[in-house]
Structure 1
Amino acid sequence: MFRRSKADEPATQPTASPAGTTTGSGKGRPTPTRREAEAAAKARARAVTDSKEARRQARDKRAAESRRMREGMKNGDERYLMSRDKGPVKRFIRDFVDARVSIAEFLLPLLLLTFVLQASGNAALVRFGGALWTTTILVVLIDTVWLVFRLKRALRERFPEESQRGTVFYAVLRALQVRPLRSPKPKVRIGGRPK
């Protein structure tokens, strides 16, 4: 077999790159010194930590905004309320419900007490639990009907031009919630006057 000599091999011609520099078999630039290489490595490391820092700051900013929105919702700030809670009519309903003690608030605790009495196995306690639950349901129904009647009358006096659609459902849901867990927080004390 014949070996090709170096003279027989085609010469590699340098090609022109779009930027106008010639690139051949070499890299086309001098090898960086150790100091330049270390500086470039430090700059790359800084960029990585800076992006991590930027992500951390963005996460902290989102968390702070979320906290501000939750606080605004709890305190009844109109900017942060959901659309179902916005407006003067809904504010009046919240104040109207919060100004009184609703028997419906005690429905869940009484239900738990009834379950405990029913599970005790004692016949007298089971009968008492059943009577307690029946009485609670009747009292809650009467109290809710009274609340709805008074609320509708107050809404007709205060907001005669406003639609009363959905107001009863909103008021009953508010009355069913235990007072400390209501959102937005109650702004009227029990026995106070709605604004």
Structure 2
Amino acid sequence: KEERKVAAAERRATAAERRNRMLAGEDKYLLPRDKGPVRAYVRDIVDARRNLVGLFMPLALVLIMAMFVSPALQAIVTLAMLIMMMFMAIEGVWLGRKINNQVRERFPDTPDGGFKLGWYAFVRASQIRKLRAPKPRVRPGDAI
């Protein structure tokens, strides 16, 4: 029984070490979707700018809570959420195109690109900055 506790503690310590290295951005420990210099470059581009789409989750929570305050607000809140989603879609398309153009300039012979890379950038941008994994290496406003 004692051996199992020791083995479990070792497994937890190993998993915590792997997670810390993954959050630090070590390529060996990253998930397959995050590996490679192209994906690191995309993460840096996304992390170096402020994104409207990153406000979606906090605004959505505020709008959902507002729906419970007054039934009269429901139509206004629904319209606000639709407008917010429209802006998110526009920014997502714009961000995807921008990312793909910059990747083609910097890595002209990479097979990575298109919708997949744009989607990767959009998903990264939509996450709350403090919860992004791997952690951002650049601050907003830094030059890439």
TM-score by length of 2: 0.87
- The Cα shift of 1:140 comes to 1.3
Q: Does 1:151 align with 2:99?
A: yes
- Give a deviation string over 1:106-136, Cα, whole Å, max 9, x none: 112222222222232352x334313321221
Structure 2 counterpart SS, 1:101: coil
Q: Does 1:190 align with 2:137?
A: no
CA contact (8 A) 1:78 1:86 kept: yes
CA contact (8 A) 1:94 1:171 kept: yes
Q: Does 1:130 align with 2:78?
A: yes
Q: What is the identity, as a one-letter code, of the residue corresponding to 1:87?
A: G
Instruction: Give the Cα separation in 2 of the matches to 1:157 and 1:60.
Output: 47
Q: Which has the higher helix share?
A: 2
Q: Does 1:120 align with 2:69?
A: yes
In the alignment, which residue of structure 2 is the partner of 1:140?
Answer: 88
Q: Does 1:106 align with 2:55?
A: yes
Instruction: Give the Cα separation in 2 of the matches to 1:76 and 1:58.
Output: 27
Q: Does 1:75 align with 2:17?
A: no
Structure 1 counterpart SS, 2:27: coil
CA contact (8 A) 1:120 1:126 kept: no
Instruction: Give the Cα separation in 1 of the matches to 2:65 and 2:31.
Output: 37
Q: What is the identity, as a one-letter code, of the residue corresponding to 1:62?
A: R
In the alignment, which residue of structure 1 is the partner of 2:127?
Answer: 177
**Structure 2 residues not aligned, in runs of 5+:** none
- Give a deviation string over 1:119-176, Cα, whole Å, max 9, x none: 32352x3343133212211221222122112111100100100013421121111111
Instruction: Give the Cα separation in 2 of the matches to 1:134 and 1:55.
Output: 53
Larger radius of gyration: 1
Instruction: Give the Cα separation in 2 of the matches to 1:86 and 1:122.
Output: 47
- 2:42 aligned to 81, 85, 93, which one? 93
Q: What is the identity, as a one-letter code, of the residue corresponding to 1:142?
A: I
Q: Does 1:58 align with 2:3?
A: no
Structure 2 counterpart SS, 1:118: helix
Deviating beyond 6 angstroms after TM superposition, the runs of 4 or more aligned structure 1 residues are: none
**Structure 1 residues not aligned, in runs of 5+:** 1-51
Structure 1 counterpart SS, 2:28: coil
Q: What is the identity, as a one-letter code, of the residue corresponding to 1:192?
A: D
Matches within 5 A, 1:7-18: none
CA contact (8 A) 2:42 2:121 kept: yes
